[in-house]
Structure 1
Amino acid sequence: MLLCCGSVNYTDWNRNRDYDCRNPINCSLPPSCCDDNQDVCLGSGGRPGCIESMTSWIKNNTPLLVGVWAGLIVGFFIFQFVAVHFHIREITFHRALREKIASYEAGDGDITDTSLSSSESEDEDDGRQRRRKRRSYRVNSGFVDD
């Protein structure tokens, strides 16, 4: 992908004992350093160093990298928001449960009381009325045998 050889250039391989030139058998470069991926590459490599290749790749792909990082950051914040939301719901639930238990222990209420808030009660009443209307319409229209 980067088509590079060594950190700075091909001479970096002279520090690697598998490719140093103290032994004539090893005096070569890895195939990735040679043009056209030859099996044995003697002398100088035809490719630039990997630092130069990596810098060039980053410069050419900056918009892609910025997009990926922005996506990761946004995804992280969404995950955190959802986690905090559910944590707050859990805390609220446990607080209400503790209050209900304390109320029961004090003898102020029934622990099985599942009363809803006024807006939830109104929504529930509206739903019941709609179901009754549909049922009476079906019965009066002959769709349901009662």
Structure 2
Amino acid sequence: MKVRIGLVAVGVLMALWGGWELLQSVDVRGLVRLPLWLGGAVVVDDFVLAPLTVVVGWLVVRWSHRPGAHRTVGVVRTTLLYVGITSLIALPLIVRQGTGANPTVLPRDYLRDWLLLEATIVVVGAVAYFTFSRVRASSGDIGGR
């Protein structure tokens, strides 16, 4: 019990210290824009990303109910997962670069690099898909004879 109270106290102190540092380092305009940005992130997540994820998931499930799909649905899901993760990581860099950021801080062309990465992921996924879709079912596979 004492350990929990100590951890809570440390957590509260760290949160207060972080809030103090935030107030000291960000100007008033930044403090006003911060809740707007966080609210916009919630709206985009709830009304764009979540429905898009549900629709893509529903389409993959509908597609996977065809005969022999058990060998390829994992490849498609994994490819979509990697495309989504890398897009979420790259999006802030791409958006920030478009606002005339300091070229010494963001010296690379993040849009081009992101597109090359996504193309590589899709090509590897397509190769794996066509490799696994052409494999004949063996006696150990589901539905194989």
Q: Same fold (TM over 0.5)?
A: no
**TM-score, length of structure 1 as denominator length:** 0.29
- Greater share of helix residues, 1 or 2? 2
**TM-score, length of structure 2 as denominator length:** 0.29
Max radius of gyration: which structure? Answer: 1
Q: Which has the higher contact order (CA 8 A, sep 6+)?
A: 2
